[in-house]
Amino acid sequence: MTTTPRTAIVTGAARGIGAATALRLAADGHAVAVIDLDEEACAATVDQITAAGGRAIAVGVDVSQADQVEAGVARIADELGAPTILVNNAGIIRDNLLFKMTQDDWDAVMNVHLRGAFLMTKAVQAHMTAEKFGRIVNLSSTSALGNRGQANYSAAKAGMQGFTKTLAIELGKFGVTANAIAPGFIQTDMTAATAERVGVSFEDFLAHAAKAIPVQRVGQPEDIAATVSFLTSDEAGFVSGQVIYVAGGPKD
Ligand code: NAP
């Protein structure tokens, strides 16, 4: 796969899918800005990248806060060069059935996923359009198709798909592609938290989930990182505005 070394930003990269994606993009030759809420929490990801001979910095940013996003992106451009790869991965869940879901549960999820992706993309797009190259990957979810207990999260993840398609339309003429990845069940702290909420051991939860997936296993963060690697490569330039379900089987 052809990949020119660039500066990449991955949000929510202290752990889970974001950490695996940061490691993969560094292995692809990119300098990586590892963003998470707590700068110190990014150290493990940054250390793994630098130990493998890559280049990375930790940047503490709450993606839902405009001032922090703008300052963080300015620092990244200064220290690593113009960012032309952006992976909007930061995410939270605040699951509950609709009748018990609070306004705070709703707002918190919208703010991190949708407002966060909007603010990050807005701050980074000026670098991409100036460079006449950009790769944006937004994390959606199979929950966009509807999922019990996730009215807030499924609405946000469906929103990520519309946001992605609009970015593809607006930014295509500047050499910028935008795609969404909609993961199915991926083994991370987020799915461990869901197991805890429903009162099942994580081991049983994983085994039960695997049985319902055509390839008969749950996903790993590296499955998503590999898809990001392709979508951010030079040769993926004609793939834009797509939602790729990475779920071990078809979804509709
Ligand atoms: P995770 O293990 O919970 O990691 C999410 C990361 O995002 C955490 O490090 C978290 O920081 C960070 N974060 C949360 N709010 C943030 C904010 N405002 N600003 C910056 N960083 C923030 O989650 P994951 O399972 O890797 O999921 C990553 C993405 O994939 C999410 O968008 C998720 O919705 C999506 N996804 C996951 C699955 C799955 O099965 N795991 C399936 C479909 C889609 P803290 O630790 O400080 O909270």
Residue with tokens 């200064």: 78
- Which CATH number do you get for residue 115? 3.40.50.720
* Any domain includes 31: yes
Confidence of residue 201 (pLDDT cuts 50, 70, 90): very high
Q: Say yes or no: 53 and 177 in one domain.
A: yes
Q: How confident is the model at residue 1 (pLDDT cuts 50, 70, 90)?
A: confident
Note whether residue 94 is domain-resident.
yes
Q: How far is the CA of 14 from the centre of ligand 1 (A)?
A: 9
User: What six digits make up the tokens of 153?
Assistant: 């999260």
Among 153, 163, 185, 205, the active-site one is 153
Q: Which atom of ligand 1 is nearest to the CA of 93?
A: 34
Q: Which of 161, 158, 164, 194 is nearest to 176 (CA)?
A: 164
Mean pLDDT over 70-76 rounds to: 98
Q: Which domain holds residue 207?
A: 186-218
Q: Are residues 172 and 213 in the same domain?
A: no
Same domain, 191 and 109: no
15 lines ligand 1 (CB under 6 A): yes
pLDDT band at 252 (very low <50, low <70, confident <90, very high): confident
Query: Domain total for the chain?
Result: 2
**Does any domain span residue 111?**
yes
- Does the annotation count 245 as an active-site position? no
Q: Is 232 in the pocket of ligand 1 (CB under 6 A)?
A: no
The string of pLDDT tens digits covering residues 127-184 is 999 999 999 999 999 999 999 999 999 999 999 999 999 999 999 999 999 999 999 9
Longest dimension (CA), the chain: 51
Do residues 172 and 237 both lie within one domain? yes
Please tell me if the CB atom of residue 191 comes closer than 6 angstroms to any atom of ligand 1. Answer: yes
Q: Which atom of ligand 1 is nearest to the CA of 185?
A: 40
CB distance 137 to 88 below 8 Å: yes
CA distance between the termini of the chain: 29
176 belongs to a structural domain: yes
CB 90 within 8 A of CB 62: no
CA 50, CA 71: separation in Å to the nearest integer?
24
- Residue 230, domain member (yes or no): yes
What does the pLDDT average to over 218-234?
Answer: 98
Q: Tell me: do 162 and 204 sit in the same domain.
A: no
Q: Do 126 and 204 belong together in one domain?
A: no
- 116 and 234 in a single domain? The answer is yes
In a domain, 2, yes or no: no
CA of 173 to the centre of ligand 1 (A): 31
- Domain match, 200 and 169 both: no
Give the position, in ligand 1's atom list, of the atom nearest the Cα of 15.
Answer: 9
Pocket test for ligand 1, best of 9, 37, 88, 95 (most atoms within 8 A of CB): 37
- Percent residues over pLDDT 90 in the chain: 97
Please report whether residue 203 resides in a domain.
Answer: yes
pLDDT tier at 62, thresholds 50, 70, 90: very high
User: Is 192 contained in some domain?
Assistant: yes
Q: Are residues 202 and 174 in the same domain?
A: no
Question: Do 100 and 128 have their domain in common?
Answer: yes
Q: Domain check: are 74 and 148 in the same one?
A: yes
SS3 of 133, please?
Answer: coil
Which residues make beta-bridge pairs with 150?
Answer: 96
Contact 83, 7 (CB under 8 A): yes
Regarding whether 133 and 68 lie in a shared domain, the answer is: yes
Whose CA is closest to atom 2 on ligand 1?
A: 16
Using alpha carbons, select from 137, 127, 197 the residue that is nearest to residue 168. 137
